[in-house]
Amino acid sequence: MHENFAHNLRLLCRYYRSIAEVCRRLDINRPQFNRYLSGRYRPSAHTLRRFCDFFGVEEHEILLPSGQFERLVQVRPRRPPAGPPATPEAPHLAHLKDLGTAGLDKYLGYYFEHYLSMACPGKILRTLVCLERRDERVYYQRTERLVEHPREKAYHGIYLGMAHFLTDRIFLSDYESLTGLEMTQTILFPSFKNRVTRLTGLKLGVSGSGERMPCCARVVYEYLGHAVDVRRALRLCGLYEPDAAQVDASIRKAVVNDIAPGEWHFRARF
């Protein structure tokens, strides 16, 4: 019998909501864990090490007489319950955050995004983009406003993503949050002026039509400021004809998707 170990283990479990939670976090089946709680079995050295790491105690401590162990636990500083193990990509994403958040404060705020629509060929799509810093990271929301018929209510597509600034390029990656059926990536040239006015680059995504064709398009971000009337800005978003007067002529020219002689790839342009 291993009464001291079993008593100490039951004591540690009381700091959690349930034994089921402990089993889930330890990734151990409940019948096996119950045998340890009963005092009939003692875990292997490897399993005992896992228990101690999880509860924040030493191996020799968990085997102490129950009264002595209880006094030790009562005066020991509490530590947050161990969370689930980090996913394989977590360290890489944390490293990317550390590399790519500096330098983006200059670009926070609202933009009109313009590019030739992937779902409606031949038309310019204008969306509203907002970049903001939260919890030491830069997130953004890109909102599409589409009206298929004049008498129908506008449809709003919401894209949520993160921004990174890596070696003089701004990288934006997002997903369509309402249906989860689409991701896009945008790479922009930064502004080398004191004041941000426009950012240009390339956008990669899929058409929103049933064809779902992967497409790449030139894109222009037109800076609006740190604060805007969002409702009014959204009313100016939507599809425009290539020669529409509501779209500045320089923007219309910048989003044309042509390839110049001697260009072997589809390239962004300043």
Question: Long-range CB contacts (< 8 A, 24+ apart) of 150-156?
Answer: 154/238, 156/234
Q: Is the overall model pTM greater than 0.75, yes or no?
A: no
245 in the same domain as 166:
yes
Q: What is the pLDDT of residue 78?
A: 63
247 in the same domain as 125:
yes
Residue 267 lies in a domain: no
Residue 262 lies in a domain: no
Domain with 12 in it: 3-75
105 in the same domain as 64:
no
Residue 84 lies in a domain: no
Residue 25 lies in a domain: yes
With CA atoms as reference, report the closest residue to 172 among 219, 125, 214: 219
With CA atoms as reference, report the closest residue to 122 among 213, 237, 243: 243
Number of independent structural domains in the chain: 2
pLDDT string in tens for the chain (270-residue length): 578 899 999 999 988 888 988 998 888 989 889 989 988 888 899 999 999 999 889 999 999 998 899 888 888 766 555 555 557 777 777 777 777 777 899 999 999 999 999 988 999 999 999 999 987 889 999 999 988 666 778 888 899 999 999 989 999 999 999 888 899 999 999 998 889 999 999 999 998 777 889 999 999 999 999 999 999 999 999 999 999 999 999 999 999 999 989 999 999 988
Residue 266 lies in a domain: no
Q: Which CATH number goes with the domain that contains 26?
A: 1.10.260.40
Residue 264 lies in a domain: no
169 in the same domain as 103:
yes
